[in-house]
Amino acid sequence: MNKAVACKLTPTPEQQAALLETLDLFADACNTALKVAQEAGKHRAYDIHHICYYNIKEATGLTSNYVIRAIGRVAGSFGRKNPPKEFKPTSLDLDKDLIRFIPFTETVSIATAQGLQKIKLQLGNYQRHLLKAQAPKAGVLAYDQKRKSFHIHFSCVADVNAAHNIAAQGALVVGLTDAVNRPETAVVQTQNHAFLPTSKPPDLTSGN
């Protein structure tokens, strides 16, 4: 079962600027693809890609992976009851070539408009357990404009119940303290995804 494990990022000012720039460019890519798709009456990713892939890549300077993810997000939005009229720079989709989790240093390497950025993660013991022996191959970077904070939602296979059982037995005292005093480090399970209770889960279908 896939779980989305949300982890808070603690970027430096320079890294924060790189993330915000990338979010802006990704939103631009989505909105360009959306406009083209609507004008051409095309809803499939394949058709949208054929029409505007190169134009978007040239206009934004984003890597091929980001452009493909943006087109995929737009195509996915057409299957929703209320598809977005505009994409905002609050989240972007990541694949295995855009992120790499580094467990020993508790950092994540993210491809940005300013190159690769190795950013420190703020992890609690629940997240450490869920990410143990994991190599996430996908995820969503989410930006909370009100709190001006970043979270990355790793998509991985994890046993949430095992993490809770370990904590319940008192084996992770620090983890229990974190869960009480810092609820942002706790993980809760919602259907097939696990999210931080203080972090609004991103829309994994349209990512608006």
Q: How many Å apart are CA 139 and CA 94, to the nearest integer?
A: 5
Give residue-wise pLDDT tens across range 130-146: 888 888 889 999 999 99
Q: Output the pLDDT for position 46.
A: 96
**Sign of the dihedral defined by the CA atoms of residues 21, 22, 24, 28, in that order:** positive
Q: How many Å apart are CA 20 and CA 80, to the nearest integer?
A: 27
Q: Output the pLDDT for position 171.
A: 33
Question: Where along the chain do its domains lie?
Answer: 2-11+94-195, 20-77
* CA angle, 66 then 208 then 149, to 5°: 85
Q: Output the pLDDT for position 184.
A: 38
Q: Output the pLDDT for position 76.
A: 94
CA contacts within 13 A on the Cβ side of 132: 10
Q: Output the pLDDT for position 135.
A: 85
Give residue-wise pLDDT tens across range 82-125: 888 999 999 999 999 999 999 999 999 999 999 999 999 999 99
Does residue 178 contact residue 136 with C-beta atoms inside 8 Å?
no
Q: In what order do the strands lie in the sheet with 149-157?
A: 91-95, 138-144, 149-157, 2-9, 115-122, 107-112, 99-102
Model-level pTM? 0.77
pLDDT tens digits in sequence order for the chain, 208 residues long: 677 899 999 999 999 999 999 999 999 999 999 999 999 999 999 999 999 999 999 999 999 999 999 999 999 999 888 888 999 999 999 999 999 999 999 999 999 999 999 999 999 998 888 888 888 889 999 999 999 999 999 987 755 555 555 444 433 323 323 333 333 333 333 333 333 333 444 554 445 5
Q: Are strands 115-122 and 107-112 parallel, antiparallel or unpaired?
A: antiparallel
Q: How many Å apart are CA 149 and CA 78, to the nearest integer?
A: 29
